[in-house]
Each structure stands twice: as C-alpha cells, then as structure tokens.
Structure 1
Amino acid sequence: MDTIKEKILLSYDIRGLYPKDINADVAWRLGYYLTPLLIKEGILPKRRLKIIIGRDTRKSGLILLKNLIQGLMQNNVEVFDAGIITTPFLYFLIKNYHFDLGIIITGSHLNENYTGFKIYTNELQAITGEQLKKYLNHFNQPVTIGLIKGKQLRKNFIREYADFLLNQSEIRKYLRNIQNKNILVCCPKSTQLILEKIKKELKIKMQFVHRPIPKRLLNKRKNDFMVQFDADGDRIYIIQRNGEVILGDVLGAFFIELLKNKKPKKVILDCRCGCFLEDLAKKYKFEVVYSKAGHSFFKEAMKKN
C-alpha cells in the first residue's frame, strides 16, 4: 500500500498530483487514521462521529471518495456521502446539520491533474496538512483491514442549500434589476447544480459553460456579464461584457455598499486591499479588522470578531 508523502501536507490543506502523490491508498490511509488521531488530540469528541464528505467534478474524485469512506468506516463513524458539492456548500452542511467533521476532495483552482482534501471541524476550523505532519509516521505504519464498524448514508442536499442561499442573500429584492439581464456562468458541474435550482426559482436568464471563454469571443456574445467560479466554488470572478475583469476591491466595495445598514458593522480586509476600500468602510462606520491573506486566516478572524 502506498504511503503518504510529506510534500502533500500543505499550510492550508492536503494537495498533490493524482495518482503520483494522492491515490486510492492515500485516501484510505487518511480515512483510517484521521478520526482516532483527532479524538486523541481533543479536536473531536469521544463518541460515534457524524462525518459529511463530498467531492468536486474531477474524474479522480470518485475512486478517492470510495476509498476515503472505506478507511473511515474501519472506525465507529457515520459517514454521509453528499456527492458533488462545493467548499461553501460543505460549510453549510457542517453547520446546519451539526456534523463533527467535513471533508471535500478537491484540487481547488489547480488544473485537472491535481487533487486533495480540505478538512473542517464543526467550528469550521481547518485541519491543515501542516498540523498532520507530526503524525506522518503514524499514517504510514502497517495497517490491518478489519470488519467495517461504521455506517454509510447518501443524501442530496442541493435543494436545501439553494433555499438557504436565496433566503440569506435576499436576492428577491433585486429581481427587477436582474431578470432582464443575460448572465453567462463559467463553472464546474458542482456549482451549476446549485445555480440551476436558483435560476428556476427566480426565472432569470442564465447560461452555463464549463471552460473559460477567450476575451475576443466574449465580446461577440449577447451577455451582460460573466461570472466565473473555480473547481470547488470558493473563488469568483466577475467579467464585464468587453472581457475586462472587475477587480476584487471593486467587488468588496459593492458588498460594503450592500451591507452598510446591516449589523454587526465589521469588515475584514487583508494587505492586498486598496486604501479606497478601507476608506469606504470607515465612511459607513464599519469597524475594520485586518487579517493575513488566505481563507483559513479569514475564517479565524471571522470567528474571533
């Protein structure tokens, strides 16, 4: 059985080439050893655990999912297979259905040859590759495959997640402004499955493509704008009709304007943000909280504030 290599244990998550660095054996080992180690560390409770697992649309995802679940079920756990999901979808599932642990198999924004694992506790604390390095020898010790102790269930949560997004975003207030727009969405199937539900509910004009469209061709389409997502749905780009990308600071300003009358009035910025975004936040009396760049640092700052 292949072992887990130190180089795939990164600062934020676990990531590497498939099948050179991450394959079925690695997924099985991770599943087999992960929960006992996290229980020993006091990160997970000492009881039968509820774990939610999903994957992005990469072809490698299915075999990795199968072996990860098989490894997990050597322990006394209850595993829910949510199928094809996004990372924000995983956050929703963990918090709303009170799972002890959530795992998504994804290579994030990297190309198709990469894959990996993002792992989160019930408090959405990331279990990073860096944290797991000290257990590398433990992960790679000889294993004995025994009787299955766990339980596996499958459930599609897309309808529940789509309803959550519709209600939390209050997008129906702005329907008059968007129903006459032609929206092009470049995204993987995981994101499309969610947006199809929203499209149907709101009766908006939305087309889907799965590969980025070159700027010269985008100009010829009759779309008002394009929205582009990465493979696990936690990165977004807005592209104008002329092919120009709207800067992240401009999107940040849009959200500050949108939330200026909401409470609590706090906004988290990192060192990459322009001064005008900070000035706009202070203009509307937001408390500005500064964070290191990176989603795990942002989530920590959100929890603290």
Structure 2
Amino acid sequence: MPAPPEIFKAYDVRGLHTEQIDGDVAHAIGRGFARVIADLAGKPTSELRLGLGRDMRLEAPDFARRYREGMVAEGAHVLDAGQVGTEMLYFLVGSRELDGGLMCTASHNPKAYTGAKLVKQGAIALSGDAGIGELRDLVVGDQLGDAPGGGSSEEVDLFAEFQEAALRFIEPSNVKPLKVVVDGGNGMAGPMVGPILDRLGLDLVETYWTPDGTFPDHEPNPLLPENREFIMRKVVETGADLGIAWDGDADRCFFIDDTGRFVDGDFLTAILAEHLLAKKPGSDVLYDARASRAVADTVSAAGGTAHVNRVGHAFFKTRMRDEGAIFGGEVSGHYYFHDFYNADSGTIPALLVLEKLSVEGKRMSELLEPYRSRYFISGEINSEVADGPAKMAELEQEYGSRPGATVTKVDGVSVDFDDWHFNVRPSNTEPLLRLTLESLVSEQDMEARRDEVLGVIRA
C-alpha cells in the first residue's frame, strides 16, 4: 500500500496499523530513515550504525522486523535491542554513539495505532522541521529506488547496563521503604522500571504491570483523567505514600500524591529541578512556555538559572546539548536529563522523587502545598478555531496593549502581567489553539481570567 502523508507527524510517525501503516510501509520507512540519517551524518548508508527497539504492541515484532529489513537493505548495521522502553532505545543510541535509532511504538495511543519515534546521533529527535519531512518525501514520493543491500544486524541486551545507568542518578541507600502504587498501563514500565524499583526495598503495589498490547484495563495514557482514576483510588485505598503511572512506551511518568491527587507537570518540574540543583548547584534548567511561574521561581531560589523553551522534545534535546542545561521539564510529563544523553526518561524522575521524599522526610502533598497554595493553573485547554494566526494576533493586540503587559513569542504568544499570565499556541496537527493560564492571586481569579481569555478565543 502507498504511505499516506498524514502519518508523518511533527515529532514522529503515527497511524492505524494495517489501514495506514502496513509491513511494506514500515519497510519503506526503514529504508528512508537510513537515507535521512546518512544525509545528516554526512556518510554513506553502508557506514551507518543504527539502533532499533520495539514496544509491546501486538504488531510490533512484525513491524520492527520490517523496519530492520529496510535499514539493512540500505546497507546499515542495525543493533536490535528487542522489546524495550523508548528511553532504552535513546540509551542505546547515546551509549554506543550510534548514528541514529528507530523505536517501533505508538507511545500512549490506543491499541489500533502503530508508528515510530526517530532519533539521530546523540539521541536527538527528528522532527517535522528536521528529518521527518525529508523522510515523508522519500517514502510518499516513492523516491527510494532500488536498495543497495549489504547491511547486517545483531541483537543486544541493554537491561543490566540501563539499570545501572539509571541508578547512578540517585544514592540508592537514601531511598526508604515507601509504599508505592505503580501502574504500568500494560506497557513497558513493568519490565523496564520494575527491576530497578525492586532493588530499592520499596513496598510496591503493582498494577497493570505486565506488557499486553490489547490493553485490557485502560489505555496507556495517564494524561487523560479517566485513565488515572484507578491509581488515584488505589493510592487512597492502600494508604500509599505515592502513586506512579507510566504511558505505553514508558518514557513519561506521572505522579499521584498521598492524598490521591494528580501532580501537575509544572510542579513536578519544579520539584525535580530543586532536587537536581542541590546535587549540581548553579546549573541551568529548561522549562516550556506553558509552565507555571513556580518553575522559574523555584530554580532561582535554588541558585540555578531557568530558561523558557519551545515545546517539543526535539527543541529541548537540541538546546540542552548545545547549552549544557542539566535538566528540562515539560508540562506534558517529558523530563530530560543532560547526563542521560539529553533524552527524556520515565525512569529517572521516579527515582529522583523517591529519593527526595526519603531524604526530606516529607509526604508528596507536603512538598506540593507551597505550590498549590500560591500558583493557580488552568491546565491546557483546547479550542477549535478557524484561523489560528489571526486569533493569536487578536489576543496579542487585546492583552499585549494593556498596562504592565509583556509579550514574548518563544512558542505561540505569551502575555505576562505581575500577577497572572497566559500562553496560547497552535496545535501542530489540528485546527486548535491551546491555552494555559495562571494566576498568582487565587483559584477564583484564575477561573475568571481563564473564562475571559477563552471568550476571546472562541468568539
């Protein structure tokens, strides 16, 4: 079947298996990926060393085989890590200094989806701005021609090496025997993170911990409230100190405090930044344009320097590599670490939070109280609009001209006042504007300002 152009997204390849991506399309993507990486690396495909991993989806073994065959057909040597979490593919590319890597995954999407996450040397993600567009043109435009052949592959086992690398981010003896509910969403967290947590002497309540591509219990997307209701209840029922839930390919983790309340990504970024700055004082930290001022305030108070950044892992990883920030956090649950090849991880944040709770002797709700009582955030709210750029210009004119306003355009349009601010940015794939707003006055003030700005957006 021909590859439909819409499967090539802003940061990855994603589509319905069989209907949009079949084995032949996967083979073509494998070939095209090798070509794109060869161009980026400035070397022939016959000299490439590429990594490959796959998640637990039912079609993943077959699709990964076809990706591998495509890369080998172009002459590349493929290191196949088998069934792993996505960050283990990043670890493979970074630790072996490979030219790139392909992870066969549809991340947090429902079971009908398949796809690939793609990185170049240094585990830096390809994006629509750099690499994925070229891949789309090769595959959709049927520009691949005959394959030169001559490649090869080998299987590699990363688990022991990865576990040791992750544990180096903490002092394992610091971690107390906390009671922790873990929800793997029948994804890759169980086999990837489970053995590490088992070594820490925790009282683990394991749920949906076995990989199962049918997702019999709930979709592996903890950002959706309906998918985290279970773990929120379970934390309260079991009297646990903490709950941790992962998405399908386990490169993102989400936290539930001891009262059963979801922990917002802004506040988790601030907590992680504070803990890391205690280990490496004076360092730089990145945070995304949607985030609460809690992040910048916490980083500054901890002696670091905070830098606002464009949303998207390609932009975070590249800037961290170029400027040396020790950590970057996104509201969506992506957390990046300089000492982990600037890659995002769902393992390292879990370890750091467990260490911080243990060292400080506080409950998660206690760590969060100073944030929740001062920073009142709306979360991200989507609105369908006919003309996104025109609406953002209208918002900039309406609010940017008010006394005390500061307008920035790191990502979309941000307007800041002394006691409140908002960011509005377009979706990469849909006719949507995404609003995040924060008040430093009260929950009621946030809600009133949120409704006012939404009124302009939706007028």
TM normalised by structure 1 equals 0.89
Question: Match of 1:103, SS?
Answer: strand
Instruction: Specify the alignment match of 2:139 in structure 1.
Output: 139
Is 1:227 the counterpart of 2:244 in the alignment? yes
Report which of the two structures shows the higher radius of gyration computed on alpha carbons. Answer: 2
Whole-Å separation in 1 of the counterparts to 2:321 and 2:70: 31
Q: Cα offset for 1:257?
A: 2.2
**What are the within-5 Å matches in structure 2 for residues 177-196 of structure 1?**
178-179=176-177, 181-187=178-184, 188-196=186-194
Which digits, 9 at most, give the CA deviation of each residue in 1:122-173, with x for residues without a partner?
Answer: 1222223554435545324387777952212112111110011111x12314
Question: Match of 2:277, SS?
Answer: coil
* Equivalent position amino acid for 1:239 in 2: I
**Alignment CA distance shift 1:301-1:96 (3 Å):** same
* Equivalent position amino acid for 1:165 in 2: A
Whole-Å separation in 2 of the counterparts to 1:35 and 1:277: 39
Instruction: Specify the alignment match of 1:301 in structure 2.
Output: 319
Q: Cα offset for 1:290?
A: 1.3
**What are the within-5 Å matches in structure 2 for residues 267-286 of structure 1?**
267-286=285-304
> Is the 1:182–1:225 contact (alpha carbons within 8 Å) kept by the matching residues of 2?
yes
Whole-Å separation in 2 of the counterparts to 1:55 and 1:257: 34
Instruction: Specify the alignment match of 2:43 in structure 1.
Output: 45
Stretch of structure 1 that moved more, 204-213 or 113-122 = 204-213
- Gaps in structure 1 of 5+ consecutive residues: none
Stretch of structure 1 that moved more, 15-24 or 240-249 = 240-249
Instruction: Specify the alignment match of 1:3 in structure 2.
Output: 2
**Alignment CA distance shift 1:127-1:146 (3 Å):** closer
**Alignment CA distance shift 1:147-1:43 (3 Å):** closer
Whole-Å separation in 2 of the counterparts to 1:173 and 1:264: 26
Q: Cα offset for 1:301?
A: 1.9
Q: Cα offset for 1:70?
A: 1.3
Instruction: Specify the alignment match of 2:174 in structure 1.
Output: 174
Task: Give the aligned length.
Answer: 299
* Equivalent position amino acid for 2:151 in 1: G
Is 1:151 the counterpart of 2:155 in the alignment? no
Whole-Å separation in 2 of the counterparts to 1:264 and 1:302: 15
**Alignment CA distance shift 1:302-1:136 (3 Å):** closer
**Alignment CA distance shift 1:116-1:146 (3 Å):** closer
Which digits, 9 at most, give the CA deviation of each residue in 1:218-244, with x for residues without a partner?
Answer: 432343221001111222110124321
Instruction: Specify the alignment match of 1:207 in structure 2.
Output: 205
Instruction: Specify the alignment match of 2:72 in structure 1.
Output: 73
State the structure with bigger RCO (CA 8 A, min sep 6), 1 or 2.
1
**Alignment CA distance shift 1:161-1:134 (3 Å):** closer
Instruction: Specify the alignment match of 1:288 in structure 2.
Output: 306
> Is the 2:187–2:249 contact (alpha carbons within 8 Å) kept by the matching residues of 1?
no
Which digits, 9 at most, give the CA deviation of each residue in 1:12-67, with x for residues without a partner?
Answer: 1111111211121111111123313432x343523521111001111121111011
Q: CA RMSD in A?
A: 2.3
- Gaps in structure 2 of 5+ consecutive residues: 209-216, 218-227, 324-459
Whole-Å separation in 2 of the counterparts to 1:150 and 1:282: 51
> Is the 1:85–1:191 contact (alpha carbons within 8 Å) kept by the matching residues of 2?
no
Q: Cα offset for 1:75?
A: 2.1
* Equivalent position amino acid for 1:284 in 2: A
> Is the 1:199–1:205 contact (alpha carbons within 8 Å) kept by the matching residues of 2?
no
**What are the within-5 Å matches in structure 2 for residues 59-70 of structure 1?**
59-70=58-69
Question: Match of 2:188, SS?
Answer: helix
